[in-house]
Structure 1
Amino acid sequence: MDYRNIEDIVKGMWLEAFKKNEISTQEDFFDLGGHSLMAAQLVTKMRETFKVNISLLTFFDNSSIESLAERIYQLRAEIENVDSNEIKK
């Protein structure tokens, strides 16, 4: 899954959570009115969707769609690299 796909999926999750038709990928979650319970729900959804161990702290540190998608992309790349190295052993 490439970065753009991840960003589109994360954006869709935010649109649904905020019940909006459009959100800029650079808008801050908390500036939009997001709160910790909503963040926790989104983190759970992202863990299931992307199969990554993303923490609430990571979400808070990457509180825009753009930065969150970038972090998820990095986490997935790390997992794929580990899986690839395990296969080679």
Structure 2
Amino acid sequence: MSQLTLSDLSSVLTECAGADDGAALTEAERDLAFTELGYDSLALLETAALVKERYGVTLTDEEVTTIATPAEFLDHVNRALTPAG
């Protein structure tokens, strides 16, 4: 898998949080806090678990609790997906 996109993350969040299917994240929302977007810590932990299952990237509970925005979540996951060197 090359990269987790904002659209991919939006789909996973929707699945984990039970939001409306039409509530996709937009580029304008990528730097907003998850709390402002209506996602709590449980939704983010569930999202991290699903990302691990689908993309093979493990985020610790501690990492997840420090990630504040969709952009930060994408950065964490995509760094792990990008081979070093």
**SS at the partner of 1:34?**
coil
Could you tell me the percent identity over the aligned residues? 12
Structure 2 partner of 1:41? 46
The reply on whether 1:73 has 2:78 as its aligned counterpart is yes
**SS at the partner of 1:13?**
helix
Is the radius of gyration larger for structure 1 or structure 2? 1
Gap regions ≥5 residues in structure 1: 85-89
Structure with more of its chain in helix, by fraction: 1
Task: Give the length in aligned residue pairs.
Answer: 78
2:58 corresponds to which of 35, 53, 60:
53
TM-score scaled to structure 2, two decimals?
0.70
Structure 2 partner of 1:22? 24
Describe the shift of the 1:64–1:33 C-alpha distance in structure 2 as closer, same or farther (beyond 3 A): same
Gap regions ≥5 residues in structure 2: none
Describe the shift of the 1:22–1:9 C-alpha distance in structure 2 as closer, same or farther (beyond 3 A): closer
TM-score scaled to structure 1, two decimals?
0.67
RMSD: 2.2
